[in-house]
């Protein structure tokens, strides 16, 4: 070994890794300073600092209205996904159903099919019924996309849940409904919370399906952003991006805390 390689050897991996960390983080973080720049041009670092872009965002109903709509949709998706998938995951673990394995695979399906194919399929399905441009269909389509994530995280919690909790509760005389709410659900809390965070974020960030099945009245924030990015790069996008990134960061932190809690138990 030459002297160079002896010095460079141990450094090679960390240096490469750090370049990569910067490459991974830069796009997510660079939008924050840009959004506090003055109006007009997009610059990093900004030449002047102001809250101009946020003022514009919150004074244009076309922008904050879609943000509000997106948040409402994401909230509905979170609730729907929890209501539909948690009982199903429980049944798949605790009942012996014919076709149970197929159903488990089916629930993972939305993760395995390219989103563009699902977007086209939903478009072809809804168009003839005049069901495009409906908020409800967006909610249900996003619920479908979020199903595998909820299934995975709740399924993992359920697999760790010892059956003897349910058995001992039965022996103590509790009904199965009561056991589900008092004994099972509290122990699935972090699994459900993780799935719910995923569902919320998937819905909030989802572009393609929403782009295919929404219209002017039901446009979500990502769809509006996508159009804005395609046709004219409006500086407001920096403010929108920062807001979205902050939501993502918040959810990511919540998720990490959940995982740590899970591990410590």
Partner 1 sequence: MNAPMTPPPTPTAEEGINRMTDSATQMIRVTGLTRTYGTFTALDQVDLSVRKGEFVTLLGPSGSGKSTLLNLIAGMTQPSGGRIEIDGRDATHLPTNKRGLGMVFQNYALMPHMTVFQNIAFPLQVRRLSKEEIARRVQGALKLVQLAHVADRKPKQLSGGQQQRISLARCIVYEPSIILMDEPLGALDKKLREDMQLEIKRLHAELGVTMIYVTHDQEEALSMSDRIVLMRKGRIEQQGAPEDLYFRPRTLFAADFLGSSNLVEGTIDASAGQFRTSLGALPLPAPQPGAPATGAGVLMVRPEAMRFDPASDAASGWPGIEATVRDSIVLGGVLRHYLEADNGHRLIVQEGSSAHRARPQRGARLRVGWGPDAARLLPPDPEFGKT
Partner 2 sequence: MTAETPYLNRLSGLVLLAPMTILLAIFFLYPLGKTLWQSVNDSGFTLRAYADLTTSTLFFKVLKTTFVISFTATLVSLLIGFPVALHLSRKTPRARVPYLIMVMLPFWTSILVKSFALTVLLGYDGVINSFLGWLFGTAVHVPMVFNRVGAIIGMINYLLPFMILSILSSLLAQDANLGRAAEVMGASRFTIFRRITLPLAMPGVIAGVLINITLSIGMYITPALLGGRKDMMVANLIDFYTRQTLDWPLASAIAVVLLVISGVLVAGLGRVQGMGQAREVAQ
Q: Which of residues 185-214 bind partner 1 (CB under 8 A)?
A: 186-187, 189
Neighbours of 10 (CB within 10 A): 8
Distance CA 132, CA 125 (A): 9
- Contact assessment for residue 193 and residue 258, using Cβ atoms and an 8 Å cutoff: yes
Interface positions, 56-95, toward partner 2 (CB under 8 A): 83-85, 87-88, 90-92, 94-95
Distance CA 179, CA 106 (A): 28
The one of partner 1, partner 2, none whose footprint includes residue 107, by CB under 5 to 8 A per kind, is partner 2
The one of partner 1, partner 2, none whose footprint includes residue 83, by CB under 5 to 8 A per kind, is partner 2
- Contact assessment for residue 157 and residue 188, using Cβ atoms and an 8 Å cutoff: yes
* Member of 55, 136, 229, 261 binding partner 2 (CB under 8 A): 229
- Contact assessment for residue 156 and residue 85, using Cβ atoms and an 8 Å cutoff: no
Distance CA 46, CA 131 (A): 44
Which span (47-55, 57-65, 153-161, 197-205) binds partner 2, by CB under 8 A?
A: 197-205
Over the window 44 to 63, marking each residue x when it contacts partner 1 by CB under 8 A and - when it does not, the resulting string is --------------------
Interface size with partner 2, residues (CB under 8 A): 80
Run of H or E residues at 258: helix 236-264
* Member of 7, 51, 62, 117 binding partner 2 (CB under 8 A): 117
Nearest approach, Cβ of 100 to partner 2 (angstroms)?
8
Over the window 166 to 185, marking each residue x when it contacts partner 2 by CB under 8 A and - when it does not, the resulting string is x---------x---------
Q: For the purposes of burial, counting CB atoms within 10 Å of the CB of 166, is it exposed (0-12), middle (13-18) or buried (19 or more)?
A: middle
* Residue indicated by tokens 């563009």: 116
Interface positions, 119-178, toward partner 1 (CB under 8 A): 162, 164-165, 167-176, 178
Dump the DSSP string for 143-210. Answer: HHHHHHHHHHHHHHHHHHS-HHHHHHHHHTT--HHHHIIIIIHHHHHHHHHHHHHHHHHHHHH--HHH
* Pick 18 or 165: Cβ nearer partner 1: 165
* Pick 55 or 160: Cβ nearer partner 1: 160
Interface positions, 5-44, toward partner 2 (CB under 8 A): 9, 12-14, 16-17, 20-21, 23-31, 34, 42, 44
Interface positions, 149-168, toward partner 2 (CB under 8 A): 163, 166
Whether omega for the bond prior to residue 45 falls within 30 degrees of 0, making it cis, is yes
* Residue indicated by tokens 């909820």: 150
Nearest approach, Cβ of 40 to partner 1 (angstroms)?
55
Nearest approach, Cβ of 187 to partner 1 (angstroms)?
6
Q: Where on the chain is the footprint of partner 1 (CB under 8 A)? A: 162, 164-165, 167-176, 178, 182-183, 186-187, 189, 265
């Amino acid at each position: 070994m030459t002297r160079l390689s002896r010095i460079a050897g141990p450094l090679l991996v960390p240096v490469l890794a750090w370049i990569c960390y910067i490459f991974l983080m830069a796009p997510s973080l660079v939008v924050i300073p840009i959004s506090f720049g003055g109006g007009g041009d997009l610059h990093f670092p900004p030449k002047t600092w102001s809250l101009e872009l946020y003022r514009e965002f919150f004074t244009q109903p076309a922008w904050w209205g879609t943000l509000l709509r997106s948040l409402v949709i994401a909230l509905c998706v979170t609730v729907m996904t929890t209501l539909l998938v948690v009982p199903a995951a429980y049944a798949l673990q605790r009942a012996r159903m014919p076709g149970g394995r197929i159903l488990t695979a089916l629930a993972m399906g939305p993760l395995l099919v390219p989103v563009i194919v699902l977007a086209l399929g939903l478009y072809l399905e809804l168009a003839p019924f005049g069901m495009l441009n409906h908020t409800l269909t967006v909610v249900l389509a996003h619920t479908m996309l979020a199903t595998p994530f909820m299934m995975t995280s709740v399924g993992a919690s359920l697999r760790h849940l010892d059956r003897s909790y349910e058995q001992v509760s039965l022996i103590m005389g509790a009904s199965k409904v009561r056991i589900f709410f008092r004994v099972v659900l509290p122990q699935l809390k972090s699994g459900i919370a993780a799935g719910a965070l995923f569902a919320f974020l998937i819905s909030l960030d989802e572009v393609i399906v929403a782009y295919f099945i929404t219209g002017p009245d039901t446009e979500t924030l990502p769809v509006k952003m996508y159009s804005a990015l395609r046709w004219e790069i409006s500086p407001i996008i920096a403010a929108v991006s920062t807001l979205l990134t902050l939501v993502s960061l918040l959810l990511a932190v919540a998720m990490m805390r959940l995982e740590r809690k899970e591990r410590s138990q």
